């Protein structure tokens, strides 16, 4: 299991932070050629009680998020990843299984049916995802995409640094809209998220970075932030999930999206 440190930083500091880190980092080899960034697309699942959401808001030590993730633009061969991200105190662990995007709907509707034989090593991650999906009676809650710059330390390939920018979201997506950009809304538009992921050591040059820019480590969840933004602007959030009493949101201060 690994650690994740997150920092919410104003956009105007992006170039300065990147320049500060340049001597210590190199680009992720999976970044598309000719670009230093790629688009991350995720659909997050939750139940009618929004258990994953409230576990995060209430600071539950052991919690998990369940999502489908894809990258960049849709093609005939697009692959998506079924992911369960577990959080235990300050540690994170990710379970991941990949399938063709054009098989996704049938896969979830038919208890994991796929038109090909899967590898033995993939059986447990697949069953773990399906178990959580079915037993939790999960449904798509929000589509989130953002632009990511990804780097690794030149001195420790287990230390990864990402800049996540331009977070956009859409509530209540369909599975076939993972690559759809229509109707997205911004969240935290004036900031980017610096994420540092590591297993053991946190080097001095990163400590110096946080001191130089006076960065404060925070607990940050894109899923929670986007739902919080939606809650502020839409009565539909309370109507669909019957959370009016739980959120104590005065109806006269809520409104539907345009």
How confident is the model at residue 114, as a pLDDT?
A: 85
Contact partners, residue 206, CB within 8 Å, separation at least 6: 196
Residue 116: pLDDT band by 50, 70, 90 thresholds? confident
How confident is the model at residue 29, as a pLDDT?
A: 80
- pLDDT of residue 127 exceeding 50, the answer is yes
Over residues 233-244, the mean pLDDT reads: 54
DSSP string, 190-248: TEEEEEEEESS---HHHHHHHHHTT---B---HHHHHHHHHHHH-HHHHHHHT-HHHHT
Residue 31: pLDDT band by 50, 70, 90 thresholds? confident
Is the overall model pTM greater than 0.75, yes or no? yes
Structure tokens at 56: 């995060």
Closest C-alpha to 225, from 256, 170, 187, 181: 187
Structure tokens at 185: 């809304």
DSSP string, 104-143: HHHHHHTTT--SSPPPGGGHHHHHHHHHHHHHTT-EEEEE
**pLDDT per residue as tens digits for the range 1-15:** 789 999 999 999 999
């Amino acid at each position: 299991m690994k650690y994740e440190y997150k920092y919410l930083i104003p956009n105007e500091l992006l170039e300065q932070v990147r320049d500060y880190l340049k001597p210590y980092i190199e680009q992720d080899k999976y970044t598309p050629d000719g670009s230093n960034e790629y688009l991350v697309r995720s659909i997050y699942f939750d139940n009618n009680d929004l258990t994953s959401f409230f576990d995060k808001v209430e600071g539950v030590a052991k919690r998990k998020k369940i999502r489908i993730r894809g990258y960049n633009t849709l093609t005939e061969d697009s692959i998506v990843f079924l992911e369960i991200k577990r959080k235990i105190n300050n540690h994170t662990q990710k379970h991941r299984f990949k399938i063709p995007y054009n098989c996704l709907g049938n896969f979830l509707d038919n208890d994991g049916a796929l038109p090909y034989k899967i590898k033995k090593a993939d059986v447990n991650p697949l069953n773990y995802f399906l178990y959580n999906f079915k037993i939790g009676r999960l449904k798509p809650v929000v589509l989130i995409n953002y632009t990511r710059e990804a780097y690794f330390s030149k001195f420790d390939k287990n230390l990864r640094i990402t800049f996540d920018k331009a977070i956009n979201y859409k509530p209540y997506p369909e599975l076939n809209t993972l690559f759809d950009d229509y109707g997205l809304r911004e969240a935290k538009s004036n900031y980017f998220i610096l994420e540092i992921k590591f297993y053991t050591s946190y080097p001095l040059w990163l400590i110096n970075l946080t001191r130089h820019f006076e960065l404060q480590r925070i607990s940050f969840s894109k899923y929670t932030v986007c739902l919080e933004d939606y809650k502020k602007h839409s009565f539909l959030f309370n109507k669909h999930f019957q959370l009016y009493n739980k959120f104590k949101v005065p109806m006269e201060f809520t409104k539907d999206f345009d």
